[in-house]
Amino acid sequence: MNEQLKAILEVLIFISQEPLTLEKIKEVLGEVPDEELKAALQALQEDYASDSRGIQVIQTAGGYLFTTKPEHDQWVRRLLQIEKKTKLSSAALETLSIIAYHQPITQAEISAIRGVDSTYSLKTLLQKKLIKIVGRKKAPGNPLVYRTTERFLQYFGLNSLDDLPKEEEIAKILEEEKQSIS
């Protein structure tokens, strides 16, 4: 067995987003005898077939692909759920930044700025206790009004809302690039 070849195949399959086809492999590696290639691929698959491995190399849609083994599905699900909980989506971040700079603000105002409905983001942020409802606006429909929380300040290491980076400061950082290029 060509161990070196097997290692390279492992790398290629690992890094490839689609099932890695034989043609693609040959395109990358150049001249490799077919038999040697197939032997190495088979050896690689066998390496991962053992029960002590949690992942496997499968052949699908005309190519090779790493996937997790079905018996570990519950752990995968649990991890993904936890990840989902801890991550702030870009939509949520957008919403949070708008609230931070425009508070107090209503959902309609946030949605108007973002150009998309923000109900779900608001829910997420409320759950994470980064924002809170502080009352209702005296306006038609009496919409709820949102503000950032203490926890928001803590999370971003701010003493008060006055500490939020000002527009000029950010602009200055961003401007510098133009000057140094020109």
Partner 1 sequence: MEQEIQDYQIQNEVSQSSTDEGYQVKLEIFEGPLDLLLFLIRKKKIDIHDIPIAVITRDYLEYLEKKEQINLDREAEFLFIAALLIYIKSQMLLPREQEVSQEDDPRQILVDRLLEFQKIKVACTILREKEENQLLRWKRTFMPPVAKPDELDLLDVSLFDLAETFFLIMKRKERENFRVIKGKDVSVEEKLKEIVDYLEKNGSMDFLEYFSNQETLEEALVAFFCLLELVKNHTVIAIQEQLFQTIRVWLRKDRPHHLPHGQSHE
Q: Which does 131 bind (CB under 5 to 8 A by kind): a copy of itself, partner 1, none?
A: none
Q: Which does 98 bind (CB under 5 to 8 A by kind): a copy of itself, partner 1, none?
A: partner 1
CB of 112 to a copy of itself, least distance (A): 18
Q: Please list every residue from 141 through 170 that binds partner 1, using CB under 8 A.
A: 154-158, 164-165, 167, 169-170
Q: Which does 139 bind (CB under 5 to 8 A by kind): a copy of itself, partner 1, none?
A: none
What sign results for the dihedral spanned by CA atoms 137, 143, 149, 152? Answer: negative
Strands in 131-136's sheet, in edge-to-edge order, are: 105-106, 144-148, 131-136
Q: Which of 65, 126, 128, 149 binds a copy of itself (CB under 8 A)?
A: 126
Q: Please list every residue from 65 through 94 that binds partner 1, using CB under 8 A.
A: 65-73, 76, 84-85, 87-88, 90-91, 93-94
Q: Which does 57 bind (CB under 5 to 8 A by kind): partner 1, a copy of itself, none?
A: none
- Cis upstream peptide for 104 (omega within 30°): yes
CB of 19 closer than 8 Å to CB of 61: yes
- How many binding residues for a copy of itself (CB under 8 A)? 59
Q: Which of 157, 167, 168, 182 binds a copy of itself (CB under 8 A)?
A: 157
Which residue lies nearer to a copy of itself by CB, 17 or 34?
A: 17
- Which one-letter amino acid corresponds to residue 57? V
